[in-house]
Homo-oligomer: A and B are copies of this chain.
Amino acid sequence: MPKRSSAATLTDIALQAQVHKTTASRALDPARRHMVSPEVVRRVEAAARALNYRVNRAASALRTGRSGTVGVLLPDITNPVFPPILRGIEQALAAEGFFVLVADTGNEQSPDQAADRMLAQRVEGLIIATSSLHDPLVERLGQDQVKVVLVNRRDEAGSMPAVVSDDMLGMKLAVDHLAAIGHRRIAHLSGPLGLSTGALRKAGFERAMAAHGLTPAGFAECAAYSCEAGEAGTRHLLRSGASFTAIAAANDLIALGSIQALQGEGLRVPQDVSVIGHNDMPLVDRVSPPLTTVRILHYEMGFRAARLLLDSLRGVPGTTSTVVLRPELVVRASSAPPPVGKAERA
Pairwise interchain contact B57-A59, C-beta atoms closer than 8 A:
no
Q: Chain A, interface size: which category?
A: 35 or more
B120 and A56 within 8 A (CB) = yes
Task: Quote the shortest CB–CB distance from A101 to chain B (angstroms).
Answer: 5
Alpha-carbon distance A84/B55, docked complex (angstroms): 33
> What 1/0 mask marks residues of chain A from 243 to 275 whose CB sits below 8 Å from any chain B CB?
000000000000010001000000000000000
B108–A54 CB distance below 8 A: no
Q: List chain B residues, Cβ under 8 A from A240.
A: none
State the CA gap A118–B54 with chains docked (Å). Answer: 10
Q: A23-60, CB under 8 A of B: which get 1 and which 0?
A: 00000000000000000000000000000101111110
Which chain B residues border A62 with CB–CB below 8 Å? 56, 58-59, 62
Any B CB within 8 A of the CB of A87: yes
Judge whether A119 is part of the interface by a CB distance below 8 angstroms: yes
Give the oligomeric copy count.
Answer: 2
A83 to B106, CA, bound (A): 13
Complex: chain B residue closest to A55, CB-CB? B120
Chain A positions 81-126 with a Cβ under 8 Å from a chain B Cβ: 82-84, 86-87, 90-91, 94-95, 97, 99-104, 106-109, 114, 116-122
A108 and B303 alpha carbons, distance in the complex (Å): 13
Inter-chain contact A58/B55, CB cutoff 8 Å: no
User: Does A239 make an interface contact (CB < 8 A)?
Assistant: no
Q: State whether A78 and B87 are in contact (beta carbons under 8 Å apart), knowing that A99-B117, A108-B95 are contacts in the complex.
A: yes
Which of B55, B58, B78, B117 is A282 in contact with, Cβ under 8 Å? B78
Tell me, yes or no, whether A80 is within 8 Å of chain B by CB: yes
A77 at the interface (CB under 8 A from B): yes
| Alpha-carbon separation in the docked complex, A256 to B284 (Å) | 12
A197 to B78, CA, bound (A): 22
Tell me which residues across on chain B come within 8 A of A120, comparing CB atoms: 54-57
Chain B hits for A94, CB < 8 A: 103, 108-109, 114, 117
| B-contact bits for A117-137, CB 8 A (1 contact / 0 none) | 111111000000000000000
Are B122 and A102 in contact (CB-based, < 8 A)?
Answer: no
**Most chain B Cβ neighbours within 10 Å, of A90, A114, A119:** A90
Q: Which residues of B contact A288 (CB under 8 A)?
A: 286-288
Give Cα A247–Cα B80 distance, bound, in whole angstroms: 28
- A52: chain B residues at CB < 8 Å are 144
Taking a contact as CB atoms under 8 Å apart, the answer to whether A86 and B77 are in contact is: yes
Is A61 located at the chain interface by the 8 A CB criterion? Answer: yes
B283 lies within 8 A of A284 (CB): yes
Instruction: Tell whether A69 is near chain B: CB-to-CB under 8 Å.
Output: yes
Residue A338 lies at the interface, judged by CB distance under 8 Å to chain B: no
**Measured CA separation A256–B287 after assembly (Å):** 11
User: Is A67 in contact with chain B by the CB < 8 A criterion?
Assistant: yes
Q: State A91–B100 Cα separation when bound (angstroms).
A: 16
CA distance in complex: A287, B99 (Å): 36
Q: Known contacts being A54-B120, A78-B84, A284-B283, is A100 close to B99, with CB within 8 Å?
A: no
Taking A101-B101, A287-B286, A288-B287 as contacts, is the C-beta distance between A121 and B256 under 8 angstroms?
Answer: no
Given contacts A56-B120, A281-B283, A288-B288, 16 further A-B contacts (CB under 8 A): A56-B62, A57-B121, A58-B121, A77-B90, A78-B83, A87-B104, A87-B107, A91-B104, A94-B114, A95-B108, A99-B121, A100-B102, A101-B101, A256-B286, A282-B283, A286-B288
